[in-house]
Amino acid sequence: MSYLQQINQEQLPKHIAVIMDGNGRWAKQQGKNRVFGHSQGVKAVRRTVEACVQAKIQYLTLYVFSTENWQRPPTEVQALMLLLGRTIKQEAKQLHKQNIRLNAIGNLDSLPSNARKHLQNAINLTQHNTGLTLTLALSYSSRWEITRAVRLIAQQVENGQLRAEHIDENTVTQALSTYNMPDPELLIRTSGECRISNYLLWQLAYTELFFLQKFWPDFQEEDLYKAVVDFQQRDRRFGKVK
């Protein structure tokens, strides 16, 4: 029996976050350059999106490019940005056809104009779709996001729109990039690394973590279904006694 058949539709995680790790190491194993690994990683993204549609997941957020990734060799960064823009342009119509809504979080102003243009076009095209919400974390880091949220809240206090004593967890949540979606209930990371890497730190407070040994280009639909089945078998107490 496949893992998809084992999924309980009554206990689905609404939101799955993914750290897509291992493209470069996978390429090295194949005797190829790192950019080849990233291009093959795009195929894994397609499989993952399709798997979420099949499993009826409502939100999928992918860690595509972190603020730290800008420190990689310029040739790799340039190739990644070209791949990003080209992929979004190619996939936009298919996303729309599948009723998928595209979203993006991060310091999007730092992206090259061409990639930013294709991203905005795809977001505009799919903005009224009602199926899976696919969010791309681009030029994103959680510390950047939280720092930005603190500035927004401080500005509200300075403008007299908010009193300091009224600041609570909801105030912070509403100032984050993810204010319009539920927190992830399941985080999947590939490549065998067991860390969060500055990703959705506030939002992952009670998220179940699933670490997979295989590199991202090898990630298959069954891997996502297996993670969901594993999630459904966990005892989630949120610090309470059941």
Domain span including residue 56: 13-138+182-230
Q: Are 189 and 18 in contact (CB under 8 A)?
A: yes
Q: Read off the tokens for 132.
A: 């899976």
Q: Are 197 and 66 in contact (CB under 8 A)?
A: yes
Question: Is residue 241 one of the residues assigned to a domain?
Answer: no
| Domain CATH for 224 | 3.40.1180.10
Q: Read off the tokens for 184.
A: 């992830």
Q: In this predicted structure, what is the pLDDT of residue 54?
A: 97
Question: Is residue 173 one of the residues assigned to a domain?
Answer: no
164-185: pLDDT as tens digits: 999 999 999 999 999 999 999 9
- Cα dihedral value 198, 204, 208, 214, nearest 10: -20
Question: Is residue 112 one of the residues assigned to a domain?
Answer: yes
Question: Is residue 213 one of the residues assigned to a domain?
Answer: yes
Question: Is residue 237 one of the residues assigned to a domain?
Answer: no
AA identity, residue 36: F
Q: Are 14 and 57 in contact (CB under 8 A)?
A: yes
pLDDT at 241 over 90: no
121-172: pLDDT as tens digits: 999 999 999 999 999 999 999 999 999 999 999 999 999 999 999 999 999 9
Q: Count up the domains in the chain and report the number.
A: 1
pLDDT band at residue 239 under the 50/70/90 scheme: confident
Question: Is residue 191 one of the residues assigned to a domain?
Answer: yes
Strand partners, 73: none
pLDDT at 77 over 70: yes
Question: Is residue 189 one of the residues assigned to a domain?
Answer: yes
Question: Is residue 3 one of the residues assigned to a domain?
Answer: no
12-62: pLDDT as tens digits: 999 999 999 999 999 999 999 999 999 999 999 999 999 999 999 999 999
Active-site residue set? 21, 69
Share of the chain above pLDDT 90, in %: 96
